[in-house]
Amino acid sequence: MKKNRRFFSALFSLCLGLILLTAPAHADEYPAKTIHMVIPWAAGGGTDSIGRGIAEAMKPVVKEAVVVDNISGAGGVTGTVKVANSKPDGYTLLMNGTTDMTAVLTFTKVPFTLDDLAYIGGFFTSPTWILSHKDRGYKDMQGFLAKAKADPGNLTVGTAGPAGAQMIMAAAIKGITGIDFRIIPYSGGADLVKALIGNQVDAGIIHAPVMLAEVKGGLIEVLGSGMPLDKINYEPLRNTKTLKDIGIPVEIGITRGIFVPKETPKEVRDRLSAIVEKAAKSEAFKNFCEKFGFAPVWIPGPDFEKQIRAELALFHETKAKYIDK
CATH number of the domain encompassing residue 170: 3.40.190.10
Within-domain flag for 233: yes
Check residue 46 and give left, alpha or beta (phi > 0: left; psi -120 to 50: alpha): alpha
Question: Using CA atoms, how far apart are residues 104 and 164, in angstroms rounded to an integer?
Answer: 8
Summarised one tens digit per residue, pLDDT across range 174-226 is 999 999 999 999 988 999 999 999 999 999 999 999 999 999 999 999 999 99
Is the domain of 241 the same as that of 260? no
So what's the pLDDT on residue 315?
96
Is the domain of 155 the same as that of 222? yes
Strand partners, 189: none
So what's the pLDDT on residue 220?
99
The DSSP H or E segment spanning 275 is: helix 266-280
Q: Answer for the pair 42, 101: CB distance below 8 angstroms, yes or no.
A: no
Last residue of a domain, one of 205, 221, 251: 251
- Please calculate the CA angle 234-49-228 and round it to the nearest 5 degrees: 35
Last residue of a domain, one of 209, 229, 251: 251
Is the domain of 173 the same as that of 243? yes
Is the domain of 115 the same as that of 260? yes
Measured over the CA atoms of residue 111, residue 115, residue 117 and residue 119, the dihedral's sign is positive
CA 33 vs. chain centroid, Å, equals 27
Is the domain of 35 the same as that of 82? yes
Using a 10 angstrom Cβ sphere, with 0-12 exposed, 13-18 middle and 19 or more buried, the burial of residue 178 is exposed
Within-domain flag for 291: yes
Within-domain flag for 304: yes
> What DSSP state is assigned to residue 319?
I
Q: Which amino acid is at 177?
A: T
Is the domain of 263 the same as that of 310? yes
| Other CB atoms within 10 Å distance of the CB of residue 276 | 24
Is the domain of 94 the same as that of 198? no
Q: Which residues of the chain have pLDDT under 50?
A: 2, 7-8, 11-25
Q: Secondary structure of the chain: what % helix, strand, coil (to 5)?
A: 50, 20, 30
Is the domain of 262 the same as that of 211? no
Is the domain of 47 the same as that of 102? yes
Q: Total domain count for the chain?
A: 2
Question: Using CA atoms, how far apart are residues 82 and 95, in angstroms rounded to an integer?
Answer: 12
Q: Can you tell me whether residue 118 is helix, strand or coil?
A: strand
So what's the pLDDT on residue 45?
86
Phi and psi torsions of 275, nearest 5°: -65, -50
Last residue of a domain, one of 192, 223, 251: 251
Q: Which residues neighbour 294 within 8 Å (Cβ) at sequence distance 6 or greater?
A: 124, 125, 126, 208, 209, 231, 232, 233
CA 197 vs. chain centroid, Å, equals 26
So what's the pLDDT on residue 29?
86
Q: Which amino acid is at 57?
A: A
Query: Is cis: bond before 162, omega within 30 of 0?
Result: no
Within-domain flag for 281: yes
Is the domain of 271 the same as that of 204? no
Within-domain flag for 85: yes
Q: Of 225, 253, 251, nearest to 239 (Cα)?
A: 225
So what's the pLDDT on residue 248?
97
Within-domain flag for 18: no
pTM: 0.86
Within-domain flag for 16: no
Per the structure, the complete domain to which residue 135 belongs is given by 127-251
Within-domain flag for 228: yes
CATH number at residue 301: 3.40.190.150
Is the domain of 101 the same as that of 66? yes
Is the domain of 258 the same as that of 231? no
Q: Can you tell me whether residue 136 is helix, strand or coil?
A: helix
